[in-house]
Each structure stands twice: as structure tokens, then as C-alpha cells.
Structure 1
Amino acid sequence: MPVKPKPAYPDTLAGWVAPERAAVIVVDIQVDFASPEGVLGQAGLDMSVAAPAVATATRLVDAARAAGTPVIFVGLATTPATDSPVWGEWRRRRDGEDRGGAICRAGEPGSAFVGPTPQADETIIWKLRYSGFFGTSLDAALRARGIDTLIVCGLTTECCVDCTVRDAFHLDYLVYVPTDACAAYDPGIHESALQSLALNCATLVSTDEICAAWVE
């Protein structure tokens, strides 16, 4: 069999994040995950920990739009029919109670995006699990645009960002994670998750580095 030629890989960050090959993926920056009025905020989690990352993700999205780089929003949208008994049992074992799937209910305020919000012409991918790729059309949407590089930001670093990044890598996307545009509710967990991603499947950068690359 003939050997396929290797793709021409850029030598610079600007080449990798060029609008014709890259997309920004915004993961789960929604009311229930990021706002004091959401389910987790009302349960007592300190949403101020995530606020700087939400603000930075907004700046990243604004810069992507200015550069002509596609922005895709990934969000959780559950219904009573999609609540998983297995997930409910796992939460019962973890927390001592079954909280079910009553978070980011589809069509309710908790599932709305906050901080960076989709424009009318931008793609929204709704999911039911941690990864933006699991059971969704995200991979197909990216392939249709010829995208091979992802810049993944959002909430939370150790959970839905992590799972989305790992699945992206398994699907042969090169992945950049702007460390200041994602967050966990525990800063130590955030840092540990970033270290794991850097060791295994992602390149860590700052939002300033990405934004500078778009204007080179």
C-alpha cells in the first residue's frame, strides 16, 4: 500500500490556531455551573472561584470572533427522560443522596450560557455526558469545516474540559488549553488536572498567547 504523505504541520502557534484550521470550544459555561443563582451556587459552592476564568473565556471568544476563528459552544441539557439511574446511584454513593440529573435542565434558566454567549450563526452542541464528543455531532461539525486544532476552555477543568480534551486527542485533534480560561471549584484540582492533560494529550497556553497569535 502507498504510504500517505504526512500533513504539513506549522512551526508556530500562529500557524496552528489560524482561523482556517482551528476552533474555540467553550465547554459548560452555564448558569448552573458558573452563577451564584445556579444549582451548584445555591448548593453552596463558591462561584467566585470560576469568575476569573469565565471573564477570560469571554475575552478569548471575542478575540476569536475578531480573528475569524470559529467558536462552538458545548453545553449540558438534561431532561427527566435522560436522567441515568447509574449516575443517580453513583451520586448517592458519593454524596449520601440521589440528586438525580436535575442540573442544566433543557429550556430552563440553569442551562443558559453565561459569560461568553453564542451568536446567532454559531454552533451549539448539547450533550448528556461529560465529554462534548460523547453521543453528539461535535466531531462531524468540526470535520465538515476542515478543523484539526482545538482551543478548549470552560468548566470544569478536571471534569467536562478534561473529558472533552481527551476525546479530542483520541480523535486526532491537536488541542490547546488556555489555562486561565478554564477553572475548577478547587484551585488545587484545577492545577492537577492541567498537569495531567499536559502530560498526556494537550498543550497548555495562556489566553494572551492565543490572542497574540491571532494578530501576528
Structure 2
Amino acid sequence: MPVSLKPAFPDTLSGWIAPDRTAVIVVDIQVDFASPDGVLGKAGVDMGIAAPAVSAAERLVDAARAAGTPVIFVGLATTAATDSPVWGEWRRRKNGVDSGGALCRAGEVGSAFYGPTPQGDETVIWKLRYSGFFGTSLDAALRARGIDTLIVCGLTTECCVDCTVRDAFHLDYFVYVPTDACAAYDPGIHESALQSLELNCATLISTGEILSAWTE
């Protein structure tokens, strides 16, 4: 009978997140989701809750660049033409009115990245749904670089980070989530989302652990 060979896996974190196999995915850290001057901030959402995660994501991105690890930015970019009738109806049922789809309008200030921002020829992936993989070229961009391991950070933990991580796992990527470099607007929801991801599809880690591994 043929022998089934298992792939050789690294024994250390530094091996798992080596720059030649890893990418940092920054999800939806944009003005409308992270800045007091964005749509959610002006609506009264406390952006101070997200601020530490944005700062940690900046440190992570700076360290990735220094280590030679690719950084890919994923952002929401909507237009009136791409607004989903289904999503509009869902909001109407939830809120009693159709609150519109004016978050992160393409080409406007609200869709601009906030905190960590793309530099040079870094890849930017624009999306219309929660997951960075749904209807985008993200998977193809990663495969073209030979990447099999992702470090996913951003906003919000229970929504776009969660959906992106789950899709990555379904596509057979190894996924790390730096718990301090992502956030929800409710700390309890953040913690619950992390517990669910750890239970099902991701390895939880801290930004400090990643930075230490890259400098070993």
C-alpha cells in the first residue's frame, strides 16, 4: 500500500511565521470604522475602544516590513450601485428604517485607511462583503507568493476579521490572530469572538510574541 506522507511542519513560531511563507492581512482599519471623524464615530460609537488595536496593528505592520513579511490591506469600498437590497432590508428589519449603505464610500474620506496605511507597491484588496476573500483576488494574490500562513488583524473582531479568518481556514491557510491588534466596539463581543475563532479555526497570539519571533 502507498505510504501517506504528512508535510513537515515547523517546530517553532519563528518557523511558522517566516517571511517567505507568511503575510499580514490588515482588515478594515479605515476612517469610518476607526476614526472619531468617521461615520460610526460621528454616530456616537466610542472609537477609544478600537484605538489600542489600531496602535498594535501599526506596530505589527512596521515589524512585518522590517522582517520582509508581505503586508496586504483589505478594505471596504461601497457605491450606490453596489449596495445590496438584501443588506438594506436586513438593516430595515433590525433598525426599523433603511439606514442606507453609506459606510466606506469608494473614493471618499471614510474609506481611507487609518493608522497603518499601504506603502509603495503593497497589495490593496477592496471588498463588498465582510470577508476579505469573498468576491476578491486575495486568495490568488497569496497563492502567487507561495504564502500558506496568515496573521490577520483589524476591525471588527466578530465581523470582518472573523469572516476573513474562517474563509482563510476553509481555503487551507494556517491562521494566527493577534488578539491585541483587533477589536470590537464591545469588549465582551471581542472576547467571545476570539474564543470562537480559537475553538474552530485560528491560533491566538499577541503582537509582542510575533515581533519577538521575527527578531530571533
> How much has 1:7 moved relative to structure 2?
2.1
Residue 4 of structure 1 and its aligned partner are, at CA, apart by 6.2
- Write the distance in 2 (CA, Å) between the matches of 1:165 and 1:76: 16
Report the counterpart of residue 153 of structure 2 in structure 1.
153
Shift in CA distance, 213/105, structure 1 to aligned 2, threshold 3 Å: same
Give, as a single letter, the amino acid of the residue that structure 2 aligns with 1:211: L
What percentage of aligned pairs have identical amino acids?
Answer: 85
Matched to 1:78, the amino acid is T
Q: Distance in 1 between matches of 2:3 and 2:86?
A: 45
- C-alpha distance in structure 1 between counterparts of 2:107 and 2:3, whole Å: 50
CA contact (8 A) 1:87 1:100 kept: no
SS in 2 for 1:185: coil
1:129 aligns with 2:129: yes
Partner SS, residue 58 of structure 1:
helix
Residue pair 1:33, 1:39 contacting (<8 A) in 2 also: yes
Partner of 1:48: helix, strand, or coil?
coil
Report what 1:82 is aligned to: 82
1:179 aligns with 2:179: yes
1:47 and 2:43 correspond: no
Partner Cα separation in structure 2 for residue 120 and residue 80 of structure 1? 30
Alignment of 1:102-121 (within 5 A): 102-121=102-121
Change (3 A) 1:96 1:18: same
Tell me how far 1:198 sits from its aligned partner. 0.2
Instruction: Structure 2: state its 5+ residue gaps.
Output: none
The corresponding residue for 1:92 is 92
Q: TM-score, normalised by structure 1?
A: 0.98
2: distance between equivalents of 1:204 and 1:67?
Answer: 21
How far apart are 1:176 and its partner, in Å? 0.2
Q: Is 1:60 the counterpart of 2:98 in the alignment? A: no
The number of equivalent residue pairs is 216
The one-letter code of the counterpart of 2:17 is V
- The secondary structure found in structure 2 opposite 1:177 is strand
The residue identity in structure 2 corresponding to 1:80 is: A
Q: Structure 1 residues 77, 15: closer, same or farther in 2, change over 3 A?
A: same
Deviation at 1:3, TM superposition (A): 6.1
CA displacement 1:58-112 (0-9 Å, x = unmatched):
0000000000000000000000000000000001111121122111000000000
User: How has the CA–CA distance of structure 1 residues 2 and 77 changed in structure 2, closer, same or farther, with 3 Å as cutoff?
Assistant: farther
Quote the Cα distance in structure 2 between the aligned partners of 1:116 and 1:93. Answer: 35
Question: Any gaps of 5 or more consecutive residues in structure 1?
Answer: none
